[in-house]
């Protein structure tokens, strides 16, 4: 089994002490910082914007992704590519020509991925699968931390793993939304690569980030 990537969701971090938060996460040994960008339009909330993105990137050597929960991502992918994203995820539902956007992301030198909402079936995005480096399966409706895992997503998670295997696709698969230690334990064994850690796994706990990450590595 390949190593899993633990990806703290920075919208859940305490921005009043951002440098300390990042330092603690780095020392704990996380793999990538998950950056949720929300426009208050595609999703009913606002989260990190470009300035936050640039600040976080300045404060860390860790790679950053960009999970764009915004309408018409094609208009904005360049900004996040220039801000240093290693991989940019778009929601195909938010874009008229998602394949064009994915190609554009790659032209800017980034990896390109899609994030799929609970009500978006894998059949609806199947044409995109040969073109992506990563997929995030949303296991809650995007927009807010602290929601409940949608159990029926289990089928979709297994379906995407099977499709990847059958077609020998090389994209990574990530899960985002109410990802608890128990779920990491369950899904790392079926081939999930990336886990977004929010309030369910790492933020707002009694234990230190280092203790939590050690436990997650030893599941």
Catalytic residues: 36, 176
Helix (H, G, I), strand (E, B) or coil at 115: strand
Could you tell me if 199 and 219 are in contact, meaning their C-beta atoms sit under 8 angstroms apart?
no
**CA–CA gap between residue 87 and residue 85 (Å, rounded):** 5
**CA–CA gap between residue 48 and residue 54 (Å, rounded):** 10
- Number of H helices and number of E strands within the chain? 7, 8
95 marked as binding residue: no
Q: Using CB distances below 5 to 8 A depending on partner kind, what does residue 159 bind out of Zn ion, ligand DX5, none?
A: none
Could you tell me if 110 and 130 are in contact, meaning their C-beta atoms sit under 8 angstroms apart?
no
Q: Which one among 25, 67, 85, 184 touches ligand DX5, defined by CB under 6 A? A: 67
Minimum CB–partner distance for residue 177 and ligand DX5 (Å): 4
Toward ligand DX5, which CB reaches closer, 127 or 215?
215
Distances (CA, A) of 207 to 28, 202, 203, 212: 12, 9, 9, 6
146 marked as binding residue: yes
> Interacting stretch for ligand DX5, rule CB under 6 A, among 81-89, 126-134, 155-163, 198-206?
198-206
Using the rule CB under 6 A, is 198 a contact of ligand DX5?
yes
Q: Using CB distances below 5 to 8 A depending on partner kind, what does residue 177 bind out of ligand DX5, Zn ion, none?
A: ligand DX5
Residue 35 DSSP symbol: -
> How buried is 204 (Cβ within 10 angstroms: 0-12 exposed, 13-18 middle, 19+ buried)?
exposed
Minimum CB–partner distance for residue 179 and ligand DX5 (Å): 6
Binding mask 138-167 for ligand DX5 (x = CB under 6 A): --x-x--xxx--------------------
Q: Which one among 200, 209, 212, 213 touches ligand DX5, defined by CB under 6 A? A: 200
Minimum CB–partner distance for residue 135 and ligand DX5 (Å): 14
Q: Closest CB to ligand DX5 belongs to which residue?
A: 198
Q: Helices 50-59 and 18-28 meet at what angle, rounded to 10?
A: 50
């Amino acid at each position: 089994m390949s190593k899993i990537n633990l990806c703290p969701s920075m919208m859940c971090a305490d921005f009043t002490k951002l440098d300390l938060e990042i330092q603690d996460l780095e020392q704990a040994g996380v793999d990538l910082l998950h950056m949720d960008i929300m426009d208050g339009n595609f999703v009913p909330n606002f989260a990190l914007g470009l300035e936050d993105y640039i600040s976080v990137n300045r404060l860390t050597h860790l790679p950053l992704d960009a999970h764009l929960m915004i309408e018409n991502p094609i208009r904005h992918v360049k900004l996040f590519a220039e801000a240093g994203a290693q991989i940019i995820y778009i929601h195909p539902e938010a874009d008229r020509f998602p394949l064009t956007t994915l190609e554009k992301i790659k032209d800017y030198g980034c990896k390109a991925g899609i994030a799929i909402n609970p009500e978006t079936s894998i059949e609806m995005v199947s044409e995109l699968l040969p073109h992506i480096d990563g997929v995030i399966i949303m296991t809650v409706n995007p927009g807010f931390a602290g929601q409940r895992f949608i159990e029926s997503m289990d089928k979709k998670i297994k379906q995407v793993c099977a499709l990847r295997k059958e077609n020998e696709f090389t994209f990574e698969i990530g899960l985002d939304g109410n990802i608890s230690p128990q779920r990491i334990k369950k899904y790392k064994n079926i081939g999930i690569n990336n886990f977004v850690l929010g309030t369910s796994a790492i933020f707002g706990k009694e234990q230190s980030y280092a203790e939590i990450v050690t436990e997650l590595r030893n599941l």
